[in-house]
Structure 1
Amino acid sequence: MDANLRLWRAEGQSFLQRFLLWADALDPLLLLTSSTRQAFLLSLSSVHPDTEKIIPVMFRPPAFLPITLPLVIVSSAQHRAKHSFFSQFVFHTYTTAFTLVNGNGTPKAQEYSVHQKQILLGLGAISYSACVGALPLMFVNRYALKSSLMQLVVRKLLPAPLFGVTSAFTVAMVRSPEFDNGIEVMDRHGKVIGVSKKAGEKAVMETALSRAVLFGTTFFLPEVLMYCVQRARLVKNPRGLSPVRMFVIMSVLAGMLPVSFSMFPQCGEIKRADLEPEILASTEETEFFYNRGI
């Protein structure tokens, strides 16, 4: 078992433990240092726990906030379908690439050209998600639906569930080979005892759900907070609403990142009864573990 997974297994049993670890590991300043007194944080943020390879800088967890923040702000502010499609295409391109880099390696990757398949599935998911996100604006603009209710629904209420669902969809698509080929499962001593499709399904579904919560909340909560700010007239100058909005989005995204990453253990556990018979036939162990990915 990789040293990072051992750390997650030992120190990440509860949500609070995982949250505190992620709060430190997501620090963008880790991108600027090659040595630190807390070497384990540098390892958690830069070494892939499944392949043990160094993760490219822009796809490391500490880079997620600095890169996605401007993409979220731009995507939430678009009122034209064409611009909305482009901004969401860029947004989903980065988050999908991040998912691909931080997912599980597949044991049959070379034999079945899994990486090429993941890239094709990812491109399809990105295009589909961008189209789905821009469709309501295209519908409203095309048919000149300017009623206050329609504008409220399309511009304020729909983006949150759409971004949540499409973010989960891109995760499921780009990591779908983990359904087909399975991922490695280990015993309590860290020894790989087999490859399980059921563990792969569990890992992908947990990650997809956490991503839906992350971006669903990030697009919904700022709208609620900004509505309260405007109703209470806390900002007198209308020009001051834009920087306040950016600050609110940044605060929500920064807070939700460790929360969403901590929803499920990084070193996931799967019950013996949930594994395939061929794996159970080779061992008497009762505890099995896997890398969930991000």
Structure 2
Amino acid sequence: MDPNLLYWKSHGQSFYSRLKIWVNLLDPISLLSSDAEIEKARTLLESGEKQNEKDDHAQNLSLSSVHADSGAVLPLVFRPPAYMPISVPLVVGSFLPHVTVSPAVFWQLLLQSYNAGFNYANRNSSSEQGRKTSLVQLLSMAGAVSFATCAGALPQIFISRLRIKSAPIQIILRTILPIPLSAALAFFNVYTVRSEEYANGIQVFDSNGNPVGFSKAAGEKAVMETALSRAALFGATAVVPNLLVLLFQRSRALQRYSRLVAPLRQMSAVFVMGLMIPVSFSLYPQLGMIKRKNLEKELGAGAPDGQLYYHRGL
């Protein structure tokens, strides 16, 4: 089993422990480390030497920069510490009350494209080792991004194309609809981009870290958990800013401060997403467990203690 997964097995089985780990791993300063430093840290972990406080940096560098299936260094922009600095401006841009359709589509395209790239780079790739990205995978990603971009811009499309002037309907389209829409599109992005995992299966391990085989049931569970965690992230990020804007619009006492609506929406989106990213990453274990009764019959014999482990991805 990969050293990253062994660490999650021993340290990341409770939500609180995972949350503490992710708060440390999401430090953007780790992005300044070179590939050579990351590979050196990885070599240190693989050597099995006993770690001291000085080597904690090597552990964090490996967890935040190295893919647990391939052992390869992740692309800089798709490492977990880069997710907040890159995605937050894109989310803020997508939440702006655009006047026309073009900027709404533009910001949605950037957001959905980056999310698709992040989801793909941090997927479980155990069944793909030694194979290049297939044309089907590329088309699936392109289709997911295209659909999510158009769906994400629907509120502005409705307002512009139907020339909606009614204030209550505009409130529904600009403030209420984006909440379930953001959560649904985040779920859809993960579930579509990582479809290979539940189609081909992912590698599962016994309690000693030995590979047992490939399980489609584990692949579906891994993708579902990640999709739900991402839906929670974007759903919560959409709730607070939009409800605050709705409060301003409906309160006569606050309407005199209408100029504060835009900065309030942006700052609250940044604040909530900054809090929710480590929370959403921690909702489910990186090294998940699946019970024998939920596994394929041929894999049941490899689970003497009644369960197997799998890499969930991110």
TM-score higher than 0.5? yes
Q: Specify which of 113, 118, 122 is matched with residue 93 of structure 1.
A: 113
1:157 aligns with 2:157: no
Q: Which residue identity does 1:14 align to in structure 2?
A: S
Cα distance in structure 2, aligned partners of 1:239 and 1:46: 42
Is residue 125 of structure 1 aligned with residue 144 of structure 2?
yes
Q: For residues 289 and 252 of structure 2, what CA distance do their matches in structure 1 show?
A: 47
**Secondary structure of the residue that 1:107 maps to in structure 2?**
helix
- The one-letter amino acid paired with 1:258 is P
Note if contact 1:185-1:289 (Cα within 8 Å) is conserved in structure 2. Answer: yes
User: Which structure 1 segments of 5+ residues have no match?
Assistant: none
Choose which of 269, 272, 293 in structure 2 pairs with 1:249: 269
- Residue 73 of structure 1 deviates from its aligned partner by 0.8
Kindly report the root-mean-square deviation, in angstroms, between the aligned alpha carbons of the 2 structures: 2.2
Task: Please list the CA deviations of residues 198-221 of structure 1 after superposition, one character each: whole Å capped at 9, or x if unmatched.
Answer: 000000000011111101111111
1:106–1:177 CA contact under 8 A, matched in 2: no
Taking the aligned partners of 2:26 and 2:233, their CA distance within structure 1 comes to 14
Q: Indicate the residue corresponding to 2:160 in structure 1.
A: 141
- What secondary structure sits across from 2:127 in the alignment? coil
> Contact between 1:108 and 1:181, CA under 8 Å: does it hold in 2?
no
Greater displacement, 211-220 / 100-109 = 100-109
Which residue pairs with 1:84 in the alignment?
104
What TM-score comes out, normalization by structure 1 length? Answer: 0.92
Give CA deviations for 1:158-198 in whole Å, capped at 9, x if unaligned: 11211111111111111101111100000011110100000
Task: Indicate how the Cα distance of structure 1 residues 245 and 270 shifts in structure 2: closer, same or farther if over 3 A, else same.
Answer: same
Deviation at 1:287, TM superposition (A): 2.7
Q: How many Å apart are 1:10 and its aligned residue?
A: 1.0
Checking the alignment, whether the CA contact within 8 Å between 1:71 and 1:87 is kept in structure 2 is yes
What is residue 70 of structure 1 aligned with on the other side? 89
Which range moves more in the overlay, 136-145 or 11-20? 136-145
1:94-109 equivalence runs, <5 A: 94-108=114-128
3-state DSSP of counterpart to 1:13: coil
1:114 and 1:177 in contact (8 A); partners too? no
* TM-score of the two chains, using structure 2 as the length reference: 0.87
Contact 2:109 2:146 in 1 (8 A): yes
Any gaps of 5 or more consecutive residues in structure 2? 38-53
What is the deviation of 1:117? 2.2
Q: 1:243 deviation in Å?
A: 3.4
Q: 1:124-160, CA deviations, whole angstroms, 9 ceiling, x for partnerless residues? A: 0110011112223212222222111101110001112
1:126 and 1:174 map into 2 onto residues whose CA distance is 9
Determine if the alignment matches structure 1 residue 41 to structure 2 residue 67.
no
Q: The residue matched to 2:289 in structure 1 has which SS?
A: strand
Contact 2:206–2:302 under 8 Å retained in 1: no
Q: Find the counterpart in structure 1 of residue 50 from structure 2.
A: none
**Match for residue 227 of structure 2?**
208
Deviation at 1:119, TM superposition (A): 1.8
Any idea what the Cα deviations from partners look like across 1:83-130, whole Å, max 9, x if unmatched? 21121011000001000000011425656x654322210110110011
Percentage identity across paired residues of the two chains: 42
Query: For this pair of structures, how many residues does the alignment match?
Result: 293
Q: Output aligned runs, 1:260-279, within 5 Å.
A: 260-279=280-299
